[in-house]
Amino acid sequence: MQTVEWSRLGTMAQHHGFFEITRSILEYAKILQIFHENGELPTYHSSDDSRSHHLGNRAALRNKVFYPHEYTGPLPADNTDFEYSSRDLAVDGGADEEAGVFNVSAMVQSWPANLNTSRQLLMTIRTWKHLSGPTDKLTLAYSRDWLTPNLPMRWISLYNLCRMGLGDRRRFELTFTLSAMSYSSTEYRNLVPTILSFATVPRFGTLSPPPWSSYDLSEGFEPKKDQLLQIIRSSALPLEDTPAADIKIKNGESQAAFVQRCRSSYNALLDSRAEELAGHLIRQWPCREPQPPPDRHPFLFDIPAVMKKAQRRFQHWYQNRDISDHIHQVQNLLDEIHLPDSTTTERRRYIFSPCLKPHFSESSTVSFDQLLERETPKISPPSSTVLRTPEASRQRQEVDTRELQTLIAEFQCDPSAIRRRYGVDLTESRTTLDDQPFFTFPDIIPYSLGSLRYRRDQCKNYLLDIFTTICRSLSPSNFNLMESGIFTAGQWPRITTRSLLGKLASTSNSNLTSEWRRVLTSFAQAFLRYQRSQRLVDFAVRQNHEEFFKELENTAFDETIAMQAPDWLLIQVNLTFLFKCREG
């Protein structure tokens, strides 16, 4: 399976039909999978999002005006665009998203210093649970990912990109990225003014976020004593390794009572020392890596294990504290520039006054069939004659069929009617063979390789001359401004060898005049001459005498027959030569 990447291709070269055709091929391949054992198709990205499908269909229908008529398809099945009362006004019927895009893009273009920013940014971010740190991989260039962005993963990087400045370039990028996010991601729509303020207010450039790679906000923002006690108790040493093991049994004390007294002493000691150790760790806050307690008296815990777990929690709390302090600084600035929604984002209403005088514009498209209504160009006959087999190279050989006649007589005298009928047919075939001349050819090619190549170049030049003459006849006139404008806009029909010869096919549904049919037939016959000359060169180089003389006998270039059977003429045109001629 091949992968196509749009590298250095113009926008119009990225045709909308590529996706539909590729998807239909893959769907057909899936149907055929049942005929293959362990057949697997490679995975490919295909969005099932109805919004993306709607946008793709709409783009196909609206972009068709940029292509000539014969290259507009394939289009969506309904072949109709959606109708809106106004594309810049939210109306009943599902245009709210487009109205939101209009408002966001207008807001970005106005580049305001005061916006309807969030009043509870930290609370919003805490609901995300996790937050990723800055990365260099994110860009504000538009992509389909901005329709459904993973904002917790992009937030800090997005904040840094917005506050970097870059003037008009940043404004242009945010026009598309924020509009796309507002269109599809309703949960992030209220944050769009806040994100825009990071770019429009220069003071955010001095508020740098912490450098940490990630934040687990579910851990909280300061040490929690109950979590520390749980960590400490989970690392308690067994009773026999603690001072409780040194307790002596009392006179008259039973063994069960002694064990219970040791266990109670052990638990009480654990609780007091756990409280002491938790307090020691909490008193060091704020810090990212707390230090272990001094070894003034024996502990009841595995201190290295306790410190490893505690330091991991302290890292989360410390990093969360850093990002919380940063968000509070950002929030203070957001509160200063805050402006209520009612005064900043009032939707502009579009008032349309229909024109009472209808105006009919002249058609701005030209079809290929319209071009073929022009006067036909004059095609000169080929300057060189067709190479034929020299008479000196022909050696007629008689065919002796007398023995065959004896065999046929046995069939004719057979009692079976079927065999007698077979004998009659064989007699007719033998008679035809006797009447047909049979020639043999020598093992010497009668033409030099240089002369064959010269003849091939003549055929090629003649073919290119015909193509150039036809193109000149079908090209826009330099004195017609409308035709020149259509050609500059890319709306002029594509004049290629394939499109020209395709008009001769019986399936083209083109109403060709007899003059144009004769011109295109001459064009196709020029292809056949060039093919034949190339094959003669190839057989001569390989010293393939038999095929060389067979090709010399192939001199069927009758225009009348070609006009009567154009499909057979097209079948003979080798596509390999067609493309080589076009490249030449």
Q: pLDDT 10s digit of each residue in the chain, 584 long? A: 456 565 666 666 677 778 778 888 888 888 887 776 665 655 555 555 556 677 777 778 777 777 777 777 777 665 556 555 554 444 554 456 777 788 889 899 999 989 999 999 999 999 999 999 998 889 998 888 898 899 999 999 999 999 987 778 889 999 999 999 988 888 898 999 999 999 999 999 999 999 999 999 999 999 998 889 888 888 887 776 666 666 667 676 676 776 677 777 777 778 888 888 888 899 999 998 999 888 754 567 888 888 999 999 999 999 999 999 999 999 999 999 998 764 344 455 544 455 556 666 666 678 888 888 889 899 888 877 777 666 545 555 566 677 777 778 888 888 888 888 888 888 888 787 777 665 566 677 788 889 889 988 998 999 999 999 999 999 988 888 888 888 887 788 888 888 888 888 888 878 888 899 889 988 988 888 888 888 889 888 988 887 887 777 776 666 677 777 787 778 777 544 443 444 34
Domain membership flag for residue 362? no
Same structural domain for residues 205 and 305? yes
Q: What is the pLDDT of residue 276?
A: 85
Cα(515)–Cα(127) distance, rounded to whole angstroms? 76
pLDDT reported for residue 121: 93
Partners of 301 in beta bridges: 236
Tokens of 431: 């008679």
Is residue 357 in some structural domain?
Answer: no
Residue 318 lies in a domain: yes
Confidence (pLDDT) at 102: 82
Residue 430 sits in the same domain as residue 446: no
Residue 401 has which token pair? Answer: 């069929």
292 in the same domain as 209: yes
Question: Is residue 147 one of the residues assigned to a domain?
Answer: yes
Query: Tokens standing for 269?
Result: 């000691």
Among 371, 582, 377, 579, which residue's Cα sits nearest to residue 492? 371
User: Does residue 530 sit in the same domain as residue 457?
Assistant: yes
Q: What pLDDT does 563 receive? A: 75
| 216 plus 203 within the same structural domain | yes
The predicted structure's pLDDT at residue 582 = 42
493 and 411 in a common domain: no
Name 502's Cβ contacts closer than 8 Å, sequence gap at least 6: 508
pLDDT at res. 11: 66
Q: How far apart (Å, rounded) are the C-alpha atoms in residues 262 and 245?
A: 7
216 and 333 assigned to the same domain = yes
**Closest CA relative to residue 322, chosen from 231, 207, 188:** 207
Residues 425 and 448 both lie in one domain: no
Q: Are residues 453 and 432 in the same domain?
A: no
In angstroms, the Cα distances linking 173 to 52, 109, 133, 201 are: 20, 11, 22, 17
Tokens found for residue 300: 């009841």
In a domain, 88, yes or no: no
Burial of 469 (0-12, 13-18, 19+ CB in 10 A): middle
Note whether residue 87 is domain-resident.
no
- Could you tell me the CA-to-CA distances from 104 to 181, 183, 191, 341 in Å, in that order? 10, 9, 11, 13
- Do 404 and 460 lie in one domain? The reply is no
| Domain contains 294 | yes
Structure tokens given for 11: 């926008």
Site of tokens 């960590």: 231
**Domain around 410:** 398-437
Asked whether 365 and 69 are in contact (CB, 8 A), the reply is yes
Which residue type occupies 404? L
Extended strands (E) in 323-398 = 395-396
Name the strand (E) or helix (H) holding 57.
Answer: helix 50-63
Q: Residue 201 has what pLDDT?
A: 92
Asked if the structure places residue 78 within a domain, the reply is no
pLDDT at 580: 43
pLDDT at 64: 76
- Indicate if 190 and 233 belong to the same structural domain: yes
Number of separate domains in the chain: 4
Q: Are residues 16 and 127 in the same domain?
A: no
